[in-house]
């Protein structure tokens, strides 16, 4: 994974930040700080999927400068908190693989829909590749979006009857209305 410059908050260099705090109020502040740090990190690095088993590979959960790591079960509990606000979802039952939504699926959906209508691409079939890897969407935040996440976003639009996902053999596409 390529490392981009992250604007780490002060907590990241504060060793006890990596130990879940026993005092409820302190823990509340700690978890809140972790939640916003995770989202900010994923947004900056365009990380759509976090596998908790490989968490130590992310500088996010492993600050080697102070030799502190966030434990597996703590990461899971914080991600579960993010799930409550629609900012994350466990992909497997064991809660190892997580999708991270720094924008909720609904927010992504309206961003993509706005893009499609602004560029007058309604009523034509776009392949999913075109949609998020095409040159047209180069400057858009959803450019490079993970396919699984994209499908979930399109499902939101489908429910709103703003699009239809079309699967044909090896081609996946969508038509917007």
Give residues in contact with another protein (CB under 8 A). Answer: 10, 13-19, 21-23, 25-26, 29-30, 67-69
Nearer to another protein, 21 or 59 (CB): 21
> CB atoms < 10 A from the CB of 105, how many?
18
Nearer to another protein, 16 or 134 (CB): 16
CB of 78 to another protein, least distance (A): 16
* Element at 90 (helix H, strand E): strand 88-90
Nearer to another protein, 67 or 138 (CB): 67
Provide the 8-state DSSP code for 2. P
Pairwise CA distance, residues 70 & 37, whole Å = 13
CB of 93 to another protein, least distance (A): 29
CB of 35 to another protein, least distance (A): 14
CB of 174 to another protein, least distance (A): 43
Distances (CA, A) of 135 to 9, 39, 131, 143, 144: 34, 26, 9, 9, 11
């Amino acid at each position: 994974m390529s490392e981009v410059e992250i604007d780490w908050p002060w907590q990241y260099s504060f060793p006890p930040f990596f130990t879940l705090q026993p005092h409820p109020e302190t823990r509340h502040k700690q978890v809140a700080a972790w939640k916003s740090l995770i989202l900010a990190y994923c947004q900056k690095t365009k990380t759509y999927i976090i596998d908790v088993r490989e968490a130590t590979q992310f500088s996010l959960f492993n600050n080697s400068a102070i030799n502190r790591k966030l434990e597996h079960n703590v990461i899971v509990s914080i991600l579960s908190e993010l799930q409550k606000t629609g900012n994350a979802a466990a992909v497997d039952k064991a809660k190892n693989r997580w999708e991270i939504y720094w924008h909720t699926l609904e927010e992504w959906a309206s961003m993509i829909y706005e893009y499609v209508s602004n560029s007058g691409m309604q009523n034509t079939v776009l392949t999913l590749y075109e949609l998020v890897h095409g040159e047209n969407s180069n400057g858009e935040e959803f450019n490079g979006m993970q396919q699984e996440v994209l499908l979930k976003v399109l499902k939101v639009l489908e429910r709103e009857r703003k699009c239809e996902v079309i699967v044909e053999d090896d081609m996946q596409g969508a038509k917007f209305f």
